Structure 1
Amino acid sequence: MSLVLQMRSERAGLVAQVQALAQIEATGGSLTAEQLSQFTDLEAKVNELTAKISRAEAAERLAAASAVPVNESASGINGPPAHISGPFNEATKPGVAMAQMVRLLVQAQGNQHQAAELAKANNFGADVHMALSTVTPGSGGVLVPENFSTSVIESLRPKSVVRRMGAVSLPLNNGNLTMPRILGNTQVSYIGTEEDIAVTSMQFGDLKLASKKAAAIVPISNDLLAYSGVNPRIDGQVSGDLSTSMGLSEDLHFIRSAGGGSLPKGLRYWALPGNVVAAPPTANITLEVIDLYLGGLMLRLEAANVDLAACGWLMAPRTIRWLQALRDGNGNKAYPEIDQGTLKGYPVALTTQIPVNLGAGGNESEIYFVNFADCYIGEDATLAIAISTEASYKDANGDTVSAFQRDQTLIRVISKHDFGPRHVESIAVGTAVTWGAGM
C-alpha cells in the first residue's frame, strides 16, 4: 500500500473517533474533561495528517510527471513506443480513468490484482494501476476511487440537461444534506411619532436531501473492451457510453420522478400547484395566445421575486421544433432566437426525458421554466461498478437482450445522490402541451 493510502486510512480511523465523540453531544450527552482533551488531540492529528497527505500527493504528481520509461534515455527515445499514449506512470486524462478500469477488469474477468498487472504491462497510467491495486469490493460492486468518481460526475455535466442548465452540485455528508430556506420575508412598516414598531420575523424551512441509489446498465461491445493497450478513442467511447447512460438516468428522475421511498423527487412534483399551468390546445391557436402562455409561465417566477439570472427552459424535442417553425403573418420566424439556443431571452435545452405521450390522448408533453441556480444535487462521491458477460437487459423497446448472445459486456454503475430546489417557487410547469403532435 502506498504512503498516501496508508495516511488516508489512518486519517479515516481518527475521523471515526472524532465522530463518535461528537455523537455523544448530538444525542444530548456531555463530554467529560478527558473526552474534550481527546477530541482536541484527535482534531490536531487529523489536521496534521491532512497536511502530510497534501504534500505526499503533490510529490507523487511531480514524480509521475517526470518519469522516464526504461527504454528511453534522458535525451530521447531509443526505440519506438509500444503504445501511442505515452509512458507508464503518466497521469491519466480526467474522465477516462474509470473507463480504463472497466476495460482492465473485463479482461481480467473481475480479478482486481490481475487487472492491476495488466495495467502495468500495457502502459496504463500509474493512477489506474494504483487504483486497481488498492480498490476493495463493495456491496454494489467494485468501489471506484473518489478522484476517479469525481471526474466521472463532472463529465456528466454536458450529458445531463439539468446539470448543464446550472443545477448546483454539493457533497452529501454521511448521505444527508440539510439546507435552510426562507419561506416568508420580514415585513417593514412605517410608523409615526411614539408608535411601536411592529414585531415580525422571517419564516424558515429546510431542504433535506438524502442519498438515493441510482443504477445504470451500459452494454458495451466486447470488441472494444478486448483491446489490451491504451487507446484514447476506445477509452473515450467507453467513457462516453457510461456518462450518457448515467446522464439520461439522472434527467429522467430529476425532471419527472414522483419521489418517495428510494426515488428522488423531480421538478414536476416539486412545483407548487399554482405554478402548474395547462397549455392552450393546438387547434385554432394563435401566436398571441402562445406568447401569453409562455409569458405566464415566466410570470409565476417573477411574481415570487425569483432571481431570473439563472433561469432556463426544458422541453421535448417535438415542442421546441414546433416553436422554432412558427411564423408570423409576414412569414418571419416567431422565435428566431431559438436558432441561437434561447427562448424569450433565456437558454432552452431539449431532452427526450420529457415524455410526449402523456394525457388521455397519449399525445401531451410538458414545458419547464426553472431557476436552476436554486436546484441542488446532493452527491455521494462513491461510485460502484459491476461487470457481467452473461446477464440480460431490456433495450429501448422493452425486449430482453442476452449480453452473451450479443457478445457484449454489461457494466452496471451505481451512484448515490438526491435532488431538490431550495425554493419551490422557482419552478413553473406547462402541462397538456400538444404542440407539434402531428409532426
Structure 2
Amino acid sequence: MSLVLQMRNDRAGLVAQVQALAQIEAGGGSLSAEQLQQFTSLETQINDLTAKIKRAESAEQLAAAGAVPVSESAQGATSPPAGSISGPFSEKAKPGTGMAQMTRLLAAAQGNQQMAAQLAKDGGYPSDVHMALSVVTPGAGGVLVPQNFATDIIESLRPVSIVRKMGVTSLPLNNGNLTMPRITGNTVVSYIGSDTDIPVTGMTFGDTKLSAKTAAAIVPISNDLLAMSGVNPRVDSIVASDLTVSMGLSEDLHFIRADGSGVLPKGLRHWAPSFNVLTAPAVADLTLEKIDLFLGGMMLRLEAANVQMKSCGWLMAPRVLRWLQSLRDGNGNKAYPEIDLGMLKGYPVGLSTQIPVNLGADGDESEIYFVNFADCMIGEDMDLTIGFSSEASYKDAEGNMVSAFQRNQTLVRVIAKHDFGPRHVESIVVAVAVKWGKGM
C-alpha cells in the first residue's frame, strides 16, 4: 500500500472517531471533559494528516513528472521522453491514450492498482497516468476510471459509433437521470377582426426522460502487448482502438434496435411511431421509380412533421447500400452516384453491421432508417469502470467459447452507463421488410 493511501486510511479512521463523538451531542447527550479533549486531539491529528497528504501527493506528482522512462530496447537512462518515441516512428498521443495506458498497466498488474501505479512510475508514463493510478481505489465492479480519461475515451467513440458519428447530442446525466421537455403541439396563430376576442392558445409539452442503463463490453487484449514496457504510442493506439471499437459496436446495437425492456435502452427502431414505420416495396415488382418514390416518401414524413432537415441522415446495412450503389438507369448511368461520396438524396449515409439482414419470416430482410439525428440524445454518466481477468472465457463473433488463458489473452471488461432517446419521435422513420440486395 502506498504512503498516500495509508495516510488516507488513517485519516478516515480518525474522521470516523470524530463523527462518533459528534453523534453523542446530536442525540441530545453531552461530551465529558475527556471526550472534549479527545475531540480536539483528533481534530489536530486530522489537520496534520491532511497537510502531510498534500505534501506527499505533490512529491509523487513531481517524482512522476521527473521520472526517467524505460526504453523498450535499451531499458536504461537513454530512453526517450515520456509519451514519445524517438526516430522516424515518432507519433503524437491520440485521444484515449491515457485510458489505454491506464488499462494496459492495470491489466499487466491483474487489477492491482498499487502495482500498476509503480509500473507507471518506473516505466516513465505521463504524470497524469501515474497520479490517477495512485489515487483511485478498486471496488467490487473494478477500477473507476478518472473522469478526464473517461471523457477522452467517450469522445473518441464519435468516429467509431455510427450513431454518434451521425450527429446525436451527448448530454450528461445528473445523478443518473435527465428530463428534457419537448413540444408536442404548436401555438395556433389566427387573425381577428375588430372587437373580437383573441383566442387563447398555446404550446403543449411532454417530457423525454433518460435514466442510466448499464452497458458492459468485453475486450480481449493480447498478453504480448501487455508485456511491452514503457510508453509506446503504437501499442497504446491498438489498445485504445480495441476499447472504442468494442464500446462503439455495443452502443450501435442498442441505440439502433434495443427494445427498451428490462435493463435495455430503447433504440431508434422502437422509438419510431407506428405511422412512421413503412414497408419497403417488394423485390418482385421493383423498379427504379418505386425505389426513388419510397425513399422520397421517407424523407417526406419528416418534412410534413416540420422537422428541421439540416441534421438528417440515413442508416442502413452495408448490403442495402451496395445494392443501391449498383443500380443503373436506362442509359447505364448510376442511379445514385452520390453514394460514392457517402450521400443519398442529399443526406449523409451511415453504414452499420448492427442493422440485421436476417429479419423476417424468411430470414432475409433488413431495415433502413431516416432520422433527424440532432433531435436524438445520449445521456451519459461519465463514470467508466474497468475490470480484468486472464482466466475467464468469452464468445467470439461465431458464438464459440474462447478461453483467454489458452489464447494468452487478458479480458478487459468496460462498464459504462448511458441512455438514448429522441426529443420528438416524429424525427424517426423506419423502412422494414427491406429485401433489397439479398442476393449479393
Q: Scaled by the length of structure 2, what TM-score is found?
A: 0.81
- Is residue 83 of structure 2 the alignment partner of residue 85 of structure 1? yes
Contact 1:103 1:226 in 2 (8 A): no
Q: Does structure 2 conserve the Cα–Cα contact (< 8 Å) formed by 1:135 and 1:142?
A: yes
Report Cα offsets for 1:160-210 as digits up to 9, x if no partner.
Answer: 000000000000000000000000001111111211111112110001000
Measured at CA, do residues 367 and 226 of structure 1 come closer, stay the same or move farther in structure 2, by a change above 3 Å? same
Q: Report the Cα offset of residue 322 of structure 1.
A: 0.2
> Which residue number corresponds to residue 359 of structure 1?
360
Secondary structure of residue in 2 paired with 1:428 = strand
More displaced 10-residue stretch of structure 1: 136-145 or 315-324: 136-145
Distance 1:70 1:226 in 2: 19
Instruction: Report the equivalent of 1:329.
Output: 330
Q: Letter of the aligned partner of 1:167 in structure 2?
A: V
Call closer, same or farther: CA 1:70–1:114 in 2, change over 3 Å: closer
What one-letter code is carried by the residue in structure 2 that aligns with 1:277?
Answer: L
CA contact (8 A) 1:216 1:414 kept: yes
State the 1:85 CA deviation.
3.5
Deviation at 1:229, TM superposition (A): 1.2
**In the alignment, which residue of structure 2 is the partner of 1:132?**
133
2: CA distance, partners of 1:396 / 1:267: 24
Question: Residue 264 of structure 1 aligns to a residue in which SS?
Answer: coil
Is contact 1:83–1:230 with CA below 8 Å preserved after alignment? no
Counterparts of 1:68 and 1:218, CA distance in 2: 33
Quick one: which amino acid aligns to residue 220 of structure 2?
P
Partner of residue 20, structure 2: none
Within a 5 Å distance, the mapping from 1:394-409 to structure 2 comes to 394-409=395-410
Match of 1:102 in 2: 103
What is the alpha-carbon distance in structure 2 between the residues aligned to residue 245 and residue 70 of structure 1?
34
Q: Does 1:144 align with 2:145?
A: yes
Displacement of 1:109 after TM fit?
2.3
C-alpha displacement at 1:140, in angstroms? 2.0
Q: Distance in 2 between matches of 1:265 and 1:79?
A: 54
Q: Secondary structure of the residue that 1:227 maps to in structure 2?
A: coil
Task: Tell me, in whole angstroms, the C-alpha distance in 1 between the residues paired with 2:82 and 2:382.
Answer: 32
d(CA) in 2 for partners of 1:138, 1:339: 49
1:97-246, aligned counterparts within 5 Å? 97-246=98-247
Unmatched 5+ stretches in structure 2: 9-53, 70-75, 86-91
SS in 1 for 2:391: coil
| More displaced 10-residue stretch of structure 1: 93-102 or 249-258 | 93-102
For 1:200 and 1:192, the matched residues in 2 are separated by 17
* Alpha-carbon shift at residue 261 of structure 1 (Å): 2.0
User: How far 1:84 sits from its partner (Å)?
Assistant: 7.4
State the SS of the aligned residue for 1:347.
Answer: strand
CA distance in 2, matches of 1:325, 1:70: 57
1:288 aligned partner: 289
> What does residue 42 of structure 2 align with?
none
Tell me if the contact between 1:254 and 1:266 (Cα under 8 Å) persists in the aligned partners: yes
Q: Distance in 2 between matches of 1:373 and 1:400?
A: 40
SS at match of 2:260: strand
Distance (Å, rounded) in 2 between the aligned partners of 1:93 and 1:256: 31
Deviation, structure 1 residue 142: 0.5
Q: Which residue of 2 aligns with 1:251?
A: 252
Counterpart of 1:428?
429
Taking the aligned partners of 2:223 and 2:67, their CA distance within structure 1 comes to 30
AA paired with 1:85?
A: G
Matched, 1:418 2:419: yes
Runs of 4+ aligned structure 1 residues displaced above 3 Å come to: 67-71, 82-87, 91-94
Please report how far the alpha carbon of residue 230 of structure 1 lies from its aligned counterpart in structure 2 after TM superposition.
Answer: 0.9
What letter is aligned with 2:170? S
Query: 1: distance between equivalents of 2:95 and 2:357?
Result: 36
Equivalent position SS for 2:292: helix
Contact map agreement 2:386 2:413 (CA 8 A) in 1:
yes
> Which runs of structure 2 are paired with 1:274-353 in the superposition (5 Å)?
274-353=275-354
Give the 3-state SS of the residue equivalent to 2:360 in structure 1. coil
Contact kept in structure 2, 1:92 and 1:125, CA below 8 Å: no
Given that 2:68 and 2:81 are in contact with CA atoms closer than 8 Å, whether structure 1 keeps it comes out as no
Letter matched to residue 431 of structure 1 = V
* SS of residue matched to 1:285: coil
How many angstroms apart in 2 are the aligned matches of 1:165 and 1:70?
A: 43
Q: CA offsets, 1:6-45, max 9 Å, x none?
A: 9xxxxxxxxxxxxxxxxxxxxxxxxxxxxxxxxxxxxxxx
Q: CA deviation at 1:93?
A: 5.3
Report the counterpart of residue 387 of structure 1 in structure 2: 388
Following superposition, the deviation at residue 372 of structure 1 comes to: 0.3
Aligned partners of 1:383 and 1:414 also within 8 Å: yes
> Alignment identity in percent?
69
Per the alignment, in what secondary structure is the counterpart of residue 219 of structure 2? Answer: strand
Counterpart amino acid of residue 164 in structure 1: K
Task: Tell me, in whole angstroms, the C-alpha distance in 2 between the residues paired with 1:207 and 1:137.
Answer: 35
RMSD: 2.5
Partner Cα distance (1:92, 1:164) in 2: 22
Residue by residue over 1:377-399, the C-alpha shift from the partner in whole angstroms, topping out at 9 and shown as x without a partner, is 00000000000000011111111
Structure 2 residue matching 1:318: 3-state secondary structure: helix
Which piece of structure 1 moves more, 136-145 or 248-257? 136-145
Match of 1:16 in 2: none
Name the counterpart of 1:21: none
1:127–1:320 Cα change, 3 Å: same
The count of corresponding residues between Structure 1 and Structure 2 is 375
Residue type of the partner of 1:104? L
Deviations 1:377-428 (A, max 9, x none): 0000000000000001111111111111111110000000000000001000
Amino acid at match of 2:207: D
CA contact (8 A) 1:267 1:427 kept: yes
Q: Distance in 2 between matches of 1:274 and 1:133?
A: 55
| Aligned AA (1:417) | H
